[in-house]
Structure formats: C-alpha cells, structure tokens
Structure 1
Amino acid sequence: MNEEYGLAEALHKLGNKVIISGRNKERLEETINANPGMSAVELNIQDPANVKSVAQQLIEEYPDLNVLFNNAGIYVPDDPSDVVDEEVLVQTVTTNLLGPIRMASALLGHLKSKEEAYIINTTSILGFVPVARGAIYSATKAALHSYTLTQRYILKDTSVRVLEIAPPLVQTQMINYDPNAMPLVPFIEETIQVLGTDTDEVLVEEAKMYRNNPGPNEGVFVNQVNDMLTGQ
C-alpha cells in the first residue's frame, strides 16, 4: 500500500471515483497505474494561483465531484526555544493550514450545488496535545481543527457536511516509521470503518485519549507526553 495515498486507495477499492493530487508527477502516475480507474492531477498546494486553476480544472473535468479531502501535510521538527526557521514556518503554515482553506474556498461554490457533498479535513492529535519539537506543525493542526468547527457551523444549512479526521501518530515516513506509532494498515481500516458512520469527527480508538485532553488542566498531560518523548 502506498502510504501517501493509503486512504485514497482504500476508498477507491470501495468503488468510489477517486482523484488524487500532489506535486510529484512520478508518484501520482505510479499510484494510479497500481489502481486502475483512479485519476490524478498535479497540484502545488502552496501556490494560491495553482490551487485556483486546479480547482477549476477539477470542476470542468469531473462535474460530479462532491467530496474534497484535504489531506496534505508536512512535518519538520522545530525548536520554539530558538530562532525560528523562516522557511519551515512558511512552508508548514502554507501547506497545512492555508492550503486546505484555499482549496475549500475554490471548490465551495461547486460543492454547494450538489445534493450531497463533503469537505474532509485531516488534522492530528497533535492539534490537541502538541509536541515541543513539532510546535509549528502542532499549531497548524490546532488551527485547522478550529477552522473546521467554524466551517461546519457556517455550512450547517447547506448540502455540504464538514468532517474532521484526527489521526494518532501513524507509522509513516513523516515520523520515520516510529515503532511506537500506530501501524498504517490498521489505521486506514479503522478510519474507513468510522467514516461509514454518521460522526463529524473521525477518530480511531488510539486517538481518543488525546482528543479528550483539552480542558482547564490540559497542560499536565501535554507536559507528560513531551517528557516521555524527550526522555525526561
């Protein structure tokens, strides 16, 4: 299974028409060749002009499109106690937060014209329990969670439902296949199962303790997790 497009492959196998996107043309072609019937479009989520043009291309080429799955994300370790790396800051915020907002904005008019449509935003448990060495990433996921809540509210009287997938740490290249993280295949299988329910928040069991943490004393658990990760 291609880890980058694992959920897309799972949805494709269930009979959905899936169009994947990304900047790496070779990887896109490799994925659609392995999944006959799947389509692909090149997209640079960091480029506002490209987001608009690709959205228009999707509307023209796939008029039945009724689901936007915002799954793009990059993670680069950072140190909030030192001078911020401007490139890491801008790329992470642009990809993880501005990208999903811009993509939804570009497609919303089309989605609202459908009898039933969905925006699915992928956040992270790190939006609820941030890690110190991934402060920027964690902050973007917390912000996307907040945006998802307001987006869901403002669209509640339309045909567009807004869902959120908040994964736990999953064994992927993004975190160097951390053996303590949830294996990819069980994560995808459980996520697909929960997507089939009527929930607005798609959470696997392993994510629930982190999702439930925010509250008056949320810093206690955040500190415990970071102490464990740093070996203190």
Structure 2
Amino acid sequence: MNITGNTIFVPGATSGIGLALALRLKSRGNTVIIGGRRTSLLAELAEAHGFETVRIDTADAASIAEATADVVGRFPDLNVLVAMAGIMRPEDWTTPGFLADAEETVVTNLLGPIRLIDAFVPHLRERPGATIVTVSSGLAHTPLRFTPTYNATKAAIHQLSESIRMQLAPIGIQVTELVPPAVRTALMPGHESADHAMPLDAYVDEVMTLLEADPEAREVLVEQVKLLRYAEVRGDYDQIVGVLNAAEERVR
C-alpha cells in the first residue's frame, strides 16, 4: 500500500488506532473517509480534522450495504479499505453469561470484516492501487486468557488475510494485515496507561514508517509485536504466554 495519493475508507476510526491512523494518512495527502455509529462524534471529527464521514455499524449487514453504496457513490476514486472496527471483551467460560459477549465479538470482529470485504471487492477490483487492510493482533499467535473469543477472531482474521491474498492478488487487490501488540487505547479497561502496552502515537508512527519502507508488505509488524507473533517459531511459546498473561493480571 502506497501511503500517499489514495482515497481511503476507515470504518472504526472514531477513536484509538483507527483515528490515529486516519489522521496520519490524511496528513500524507490522502482523502480519508471515516466511519462510525455516532453521527454526532463523526461531525465533531469532521469539523476538527476535515475528514469525510459515513455512518456505519459494522455489526449490521444492512448498515454495511448502505454505507458501501454511500461511500462508492460519493467517492468513486476509493481504492483502500481499512477494516479497523473491533471489540475486545473479557470472558469467563467457567461461569454462565459469557455467550452474549462471545457472539457479539464474532459478529463484530470476524463477520464485520468479511461483510465489508464482500461489499467493496466489486468496486476495488476496478481501481488502480487497490488495497484491503485487515487488522488482526499479536493475540492471534499468543493468547490472552481473559479474551478467548477475541483471540480466536483475530487468529481467524490472520488466516483470512493469508487466504484471500492469494485469491485477490490476480485481480489487482493487495491485502495487508496490521498486527498490533497491546496499545494504549480504550479497547480494554486499563490499557490506556498500561506499562506493557505501546503508546498509541509510537505505534501508528512505526506503522507508517513500515508501510513507507515496504508498500508491498503482507504483514505490518512493529518490533514490539514480534515477541508474540513469533513465539511458537522461536520455541519460547509457553514462556511468552506466561509473561503476557502475568502482565495483564497486573492491569486487571
């Protein structure tokens, strides 16, 4: 993915990594459309930063269809989709009551990106420089005990990215996977100031540097996430699982 000269849609960009990435991309001369559920917040961000906006609920198939028609109609040069929206909920599978959170996580984190990609591929295949950016996690490779369904959906996104890349490359669509470590955002309570989490600005700055250095990158791996991404390859998986979960215990 080239980091300049694009028209980019980022659903899930009203806060956290999505918003920080949208701001960096806009500063590099891209037209950036952000999506979210709250129209009042979208209006505030549009006024503050000059974003184009679209209301979208990525957990709702009808909303995705409506937003896709809106984006493609207003921005026919759109060539990049960043499937950023996601949720992270703690679950305790030893007690009743976890199923609702688990189901919502699957719908938002896995079905949401699948539906987005399905909706935008017919348009993207006609655009030069077309790119789909998926967002997995270091937890796709080294699990956190508190968030089993989140871990599973991010592992699925990793394999989805690997698989559809082979299908979409021949029709001119690049697939790039962002693999964040723990980052200081509100995705999980306590992470905004967690010592082991990467500062948000530092994370997004490193992502932009990596994308600029290698526009053809399959995975965007900041240094901090490599501890999780390659634990099994290195042979220290059990040790890293222990270190990761001990750090999260301290946050909780």
TM over 0.5: yes
Aligned partner of residue 100 in structure 1, secondary structure? helix
Q: Quick check: 1:93 aligned with 2:109?
A: no
- Listed as ranges, the matches of 1:16-35 within 5 Å are 16-35=30-49
- Listed as ranges, the matches of 1:9-48 within 5 Å are 9-36=23-50, 38-48=51-61
Give CA deviations for 1:147-169 in whole Å, capped at 9, x if unaligned: 11101111121210000000110
Percent sequence identity is 33
Tell whether the 8 Å contact from 2:227 to 2:240 is kept in structure 1 after alignment. Answer: no
Query: Residue 245 of structure 2 aligns with which residue?
Result: 226
Tell whether the 8 Å contact from 1:130 to 1:222 is kept in structure 2 after alignment. Answer: yes
- Listed as ranges, the matches of 1:79-118 within 5 Å are 79-118=92-131
Query: Residue 74 of structure 1 aligns with which residue?
Result: 87
Q: Which moved more, 1:110-119 or 1:26-35?
A: 26-35
Give CA deviations for 1:93-118 in whole Å, capped at 9, x if unaligned: 11111100100000101000112200
In 2, the alpha carbon distance for the partners of 1:116 and 1:225 equals 37
Query: Residue 6 of structure 1 aligns with which residue?
Result: 20
In 2, the alpha carbon distance for the partners of 1:79 and 1:87 equals 12
Whichever residue aligns with residue 180 of structure 1, its letter is: H
Whichever residue aligns with residue 150 of structure 1, its letter is: S
**Structure 2: stretches of 5+ with no match in the other structure:** 1-13
Query: Residue 214 of structure 1 aligns with which residue?
Result: 232
Give CA deviations for 1:117-157 in whole Å, capped at 9, x if unaligned: 00000111011111000111111111111111101111121
Tell whether the 8 Å contact from 1:170 to 1:183 is kept in structure 2 after alignment. Answer: yes
- Listed as ranges, the matches of 1:154-193 within 5 Å are 154-175=167-188, 176=190, 177=192, 178-193=194-209
- Pick from 129, 150, 170: which aligns with 1:137? 150
Q: Shift of the alpha carbon at 1:218? A: 3.5
Give CA deviations for 1:28-80 in whole Å, capped at 9, x if unaligned: 111111112x2010001111111112111111111000000000011111123
Number of positions where the alignment pairs a residue of Structure 1 with one of Structure 2: 230
Tell whether the 8 Å contact from 2:196 to 2:247 is kept in structure 1 after alignment. Answer: no
In 2, the alpha carbon distance for the partners of 1:119 and 1:224 equals 33
Whichever residue aligns with residue 229 of structure 2, its letter is: R
In 1, the alpha carbon distance for the partners of 2:204 and 2:245 equals 26
CA-atom RMSD in angstroms? 1.8
Q: Shift of the alpha carbon at 1:86? A: 2.4
User: What TM-score do you get using the length of structure 2 for normalisation?
Assistant: 0.86
In 2, the alpha carbon distance for the partners of 1:229 and 1:113 equals 44
Q: CA, structure 1 residues 153+84, in 2 after alignment: closer, same or farther (shift >3 Å)?
A: farther
In 2, the alpha carbon distance for the partners of 1:165 and 1:81 equals 32
Tell whether the 8 Å contact from 1:70 to 1:122 is kept in structure 2 after alignment. Answer: yes
**Structure 1: stretches of 5+ with no match in the other structure:** none
In 2, the alpha carbon distance for the partners of 1:181 and 1:117 equals 32
In 2, the alpha carbon distance for the partners of 1:223 and 1:213 equals 11
Q: CA, structure 1 residues 214+81, in 2 after alignment: closer, same or farther (shift >3 Å)?
A: farther
Higher relative contact order (CA 8 A, sep 6+): 2
